Amino acid sequence: MEPDLHATSISVVANRPSTSPSPETPAENQPSIKTTTNEFLASLFDDLKHHRLSLPTLPDLALKAQQTVINTDATATALAKTVSADPALSSRVVRMANSVLLRGRPPVASVQTMIARMGIDPLRNLTACLAMAQVWRQHASPLIDDQLKSVWTHTTRVAALCGVIARKFTRLEPDQAMLAGLIHDIGALPILTQAAKVPELVVNKAAMNRIVERLHPAVGRIVLQGWQFPEELVKVVTEHEDLEYDSDSGPDLVDVVILANLHSYIGTTAHRCNINWDFVPAFGKLGLTPQASIAAVIDARDELAELRNLLTS
């Protein structure tokens, strides 16, 4: 699928040169950085159009697990064999299966037992969850290291919130909700990686934040389609920034990620902190008020800490 190069409202037309900027002019709006930004965007769009943009790849084991599940003839034995090939990862998958995320079921001692009791989808989802940290380390560059760490920290916070919100307030599978949280900002990774080639842009955090915020849904969609992720997860990447999102169906993964995102910004200086939650449809779809959701998240702080520890350890 060709990327929608007109989906962003950031202009790629170079601004007219002007006289020296006023001291009050925000750094990201000064003529020099505007020109650099527009040149970067034009290059990024061209690379996307011609399939030259360097996109993140899933680690081999997670990719094999994904392909095994996609294969309609796949067996539980084949998937268990694939995941068990990495003892360290399979051990972490079992730990996560026995965590608060899937609590309420008898504990499992092995990947094989996990599949027998839960099916193959939770194993695929949890394997992908634990592989995401490796994905974010693939393209490390000193120039973007701080920004990558910042996005990854935000991502793990949102993922833990998604797991708890899905388990408490929906019939969605918590493991898939957590994976939705982990991939919702995946589009930021190739954008930042590409920006590392333009040092004068990378050091301007405000300009970079605007670029990532506007473009990461479209770029993330391309990444997940390349990974052959299910459409409901591709939809999360595409729609999660739309706070007016209101599908005709019941609560879905997009709603969960929207709420988790909003909660993740509490206590930060992000502009999303100024949004009136009363007008966000996702709350009503989950049968929540903003106040009730805040109380529930506070009550689940120990669960959230456990999940984040599993994702980052």
Domains of the chain: 56-138 (no CATH), 140-313 (1.10.3210.10)
pLDDT in the model for residue 104:
67
pLDDT in the model for residue 123:
83
pLDDT in the model for residue 165:
96
Q: Which of 87, 246, 233, 238 is nearest to 162 (CA)?
A: 233
Residue 254's region, left for phi above 0, alpha for psi from -120 to 50, else beta, is alpha
7-35 as b/e: b if 16+ CB within 10 A: ebeeebeeeeeeeeeeeeeeebebbebbe
pLDDT in the model for residue 6:
40
Q: Are 214 and 249 in contact (CB under 8 A)?
A: no
pTM score of the predicted model: 0.84
9 vs 12: CA distance, rounded Å: 9
pLDDT in the model for residue 301:
92
The residues with which 103 forms a beta bridge, in sequence order, are 105
**CB count in 10 Å sphere of residue 67:** 14
**CB count in 10 Å sphere of residue 168:** 16
11 vs 205: CA distance, rounded Å: 18
From first to last of its 313 residues, the chain has per-residue pLDDT tens of 444 444 433 333 233 333 334 444 455 556 588 889 999 999 998 998 888 888 888 877 777 777 776 665 667 777 788 888 888 888 888 888 888 676 667 888 988 888 888 888 888 888 888 888 888 877 667 888 889 999 999 999 999 999 999 999 999 999 999 999 999 999 999 999 999 999 989 889 889 999 999 999 999 999 999 888 999 999 999 999 999 999 988 899 999 999 999 999 988 877 777 889 999 999 999 999 999 999 999 999 999 999 898 888 7
